[in-house]
C-alpha cells in the first residue's frame, strides 16, 4: 500500500472507499457482445449497478438479429433506467454507411454510438461488462474527481490472478513502447501516456464537455485513443487516475483473431497516432528494435517482482510475446477514427430512433416507419 502522488492526481484505495459522488447525474455506458448474454460477470455488473442507481445505463449491443431479442429481454429484468442500443441493425448500419461512418466494427464503434446517447447527462462513465469482481463503488470512485474540478478520470488496478501477473498487453507492449519513444524525445504527450498506471483499463469517466469532443477509435485502440484526446482536452491538471482495488476479468489468448497479438496492432496504431498528433515524429526505422530492448528490460524487472512475491512467471513466454508484438510497431495508416459528437454529421437522436426501430422489428416483427432527424 502506498500513497505517492504522480504527474497526474492519483486517488488510492487506502480504506476501501465508497465516496459520495454525483451518480444521479451520470450515464453509465456498458458495451456488450453476445458472449456476455446471461454471463455471471455481466449479471454481477448489472446487479451492482442496481444499487448505484445512475441516471441512465446505455448498453451498446453487438449481436445478431437472432440473439438481440432474447438479450434485450434479459437486460429488461434489471431495475435500471436502461436502454439497449443495437449496433448492428439494418437501418442504423445503412444510415451510418450513407454518412461514411460505418466502417470497421468493434468495441470503440459501439462505445461511440452509446456516447451520443449518454451525453444527455452531465457525466459519462464507461465500464467493461466482463468484470468478475465488479463493485458498486466503481462508479462513485471514477466520478469523485469529476465532482472536484477534474474533467477526466481513468481506472487502474493490479492484474494479479491465479498466482500470475496478467495485464500482458500493457506490461509487455504499451509501457515498453512508450518508454522507447521517450528515449528519443521529451514531448509532454509521452509524460502523460506514461503517467497512467494501467493505461489499457476499459474504465474511465469524463465530463459531458470532454466526452462530446472525444474522437473514438473503432476497435481495440479505444483506450489509448481516449488518452490521446484527454491530453488535449483535460491535460495533466484536469486528469486523475483512480484505484479500483481488486479486479478480475476475462483473459485472452495471445494468438487468434481476437487475441493479444492482433489487439497489439490496433493499440500500437492508436498510440503512435496519438503521439504524432502531438508533434512527435518517431524514428520508425529503429523503433521496433528499441521497443524490443525496452520490453526485455521490463521482463527482467517483472521476473524479479514475481519471484519476490512467490508468483509463477514464464519469462520465456513473455519474451515470445515481445517478438510477436514487435510486428505491431509500425507507422499508423488509414486514420478511421469516428468524429467527436460535437462535430458528427449525424445526430444522437437519429441514432437512437434508427436503433429503436431496428430493435423493435427484430424482436416482434413489426416494421416501424419513423420520421427521423436528418
- What DSSP assignment string belongs to 44-61? HHHHHHHHH--SEEEEEE
Q: Are 152 and 205 in contact (CB under 8 A)?
A: yes
> Is a pLDDT exceeding 50 seen at residue 372?
no
Give strand pairing partners of 32: 61
Cell numbers at residue 181, please?
519513444
> Is a pLDDT exceeding 70 seen at residue 274?
yes
Residue 364: predicted pLDDT: 79
Residue 258: predicted pLDDT: 67
> Is a pLDDT exceeding 50 seen at residue 370?
no
Residue 374: predicted pLDDT: 37
Residue 275: predicted pLDDT: 97
H-helix segments, the chain: 40-52, 65-76, 90-98, 107-118, 137-143, 168-169, 175-182, 188-195, 208-211, 222-233, 235-238, 260-277, 287-308, 315-326, 348-364
Strands 56-62 and 82-86: what pairing?
A: parallel
Residue 257: predicted pLDDT: 62
Residue 252: predicted pLDDT: 63
Place of cell 458495451: 31
* pTM, 2 dp: 0.93
Tens digit of each residue's pLDDT (9 = 90 or more) over 29-47: 999 999 999 999 999 999 9
Residue 109: predicted pLDDT: 96
- Summarize the confidence of residues 61-87 as an average pLDDT: 96
- Backbone conformation region of residue 227, classed left if phi is above 0, alpha if psi is from -120 to 50, else beta: alpha
Integer Cα distance of 240 and 21 in angstroms: 15
Residue 263, classified by CB atoms within 10 Å of its CB into exposed (0-12), middle (13-18) or buried (19+), is: buried
> Is a pLDDT exceeding 60 seen at residue 373?
no
Residue 29: predicted pLDDT: 98
Q: Between 296 and 167, where is the model more confident?
A: 296
Instruction: Provide the pLDDT confidence category of residue 2 given band limits of 50, 70 and 90.
Output: confident
Tens digit of each residue's pLDDT (9 = 90 or more) over 156-206: 998 888 888 988 999 999 999 999 999 999 999 999 999 999 999 999 999
Instruction: Provide the pLDDT confidence category of residue 368 given band limits of 50, 70 and 90.
Output: very low
The separation between the first and the last C-alpha atoms of the chain, rounded to the nearest angstrom, is 53
Integer Cα distance of 114 and 56 in angstroms: 11
- Summarize the confidence of residues 37-58 as an average pLDDT: 96
Residue 223: predicted pLDDT: 96
Give me the percent of the chain exceeding a pLDDT of 90. Answer: 85
Residue 161: predicted pLDDT: 84
Amino acid at each position: 500500500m502506498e500513497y505517492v502522488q504522480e504527474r497526474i492526481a492519483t486517488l488510492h484505495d487506502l480504506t476501501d472507499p465508497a465516496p459520495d459522488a454525483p451518480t444521479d447525474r451520470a450515464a453509465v455506458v456498458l458495451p456488450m457482445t453476445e458472449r456476455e448474454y446471461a454471463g455471471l460477470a455481466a449479471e454481477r455488473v448489472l446487479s451492482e449497478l442496481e444499487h448505484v442507481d445512475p441516471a441512465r445505463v446505455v448498453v451498446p449491443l453487438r449481436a445478431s438479429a437472432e440473439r438481440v431479442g432474447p438479450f434485450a429481454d434479459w437486460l429488461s429484468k434489471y431495475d435500471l433506467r436502461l436502454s439497449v442500443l443495437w449496433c448492428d441493425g439494418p437501418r442504423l448500419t445503412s444510415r451510418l454507411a450513407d454518412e461514411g461512418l460505418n466502417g470497421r466494427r468493434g468495441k470503440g464503434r459501439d462505445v461511440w454510438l452509446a456516447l451520443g446517447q449518454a451525453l444527455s447527462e452531465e457525466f459519462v462513465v464507461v465500464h467493461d461488462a466482463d468484470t468478475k469482481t465488479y463493485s458498486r463503488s466503481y462508479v462513485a470512485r471514477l466520478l469523485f474527481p469529476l465532482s472536484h474540478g477534474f474533467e477526466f478520470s481513468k481506472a487502474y488496478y493490479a492484474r494479479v490472478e491465479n498466482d500470475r501477473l496478467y495485464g500482458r498487453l500493457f506490461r509487455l507492449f504499451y509501457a515498453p513502447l512508450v518508454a522507447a519513444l521517450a528515449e528519443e524525445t521529451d514531448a509532454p504527450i509521452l509524460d502523460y501516456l506514461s503517467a497512467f498506471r494501467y493505461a489499457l483499463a476499459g474504465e474511465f469517466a469524463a465530463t459531458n464537455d470532454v466526452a462530446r469532443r472525444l474522437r473514438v477509435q473503432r476497435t481495440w485502440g479505444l483506450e489509448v485513443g481516449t488518452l490521446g484526446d484527454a491530453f488535449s482536452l483535460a491535460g495533466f491538471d484536469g486528469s486523475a487516475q483512480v484505484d479500483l482495488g481488486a479486479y478480475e476479468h476475462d483473459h485472452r489468448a495471445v494468438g487468434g483473431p481476437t487475441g493479444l497479438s492482433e489487439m497489439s496492432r490496433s493499440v500500437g496504431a492508436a498510440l503512435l497516432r496519438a503521439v504524432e498528433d502531438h508533434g512527435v515524429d518517431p524514428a520508425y526505422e529503429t523503433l521496433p528494435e528499441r521497443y524490443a530492448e525496452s520490453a526485455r528490460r521490463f521482463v527482467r524487472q517483472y521476473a524479479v517482482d514475481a519471484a519476490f512475491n512467490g508468483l509463477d512467471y514464464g519469462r520465456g513466454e513473455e519474451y515470445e510475446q515481445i517478438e510477436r508484438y514487435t510486428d505491431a510497431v509500425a507507422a499508423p495508416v488509414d486514420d478511421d477514427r469516428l468524429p467527436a459528437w460535437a462535430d458528427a454529421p449525424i445526430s444522437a437522436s437519429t441514432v437512437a430512433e434508427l436503433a429503436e426501430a431496428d430493435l423493435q422489428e427484430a424482436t416482434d416483427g413489426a416494421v416501424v416507419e419513423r420520421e427521423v432527424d436528418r
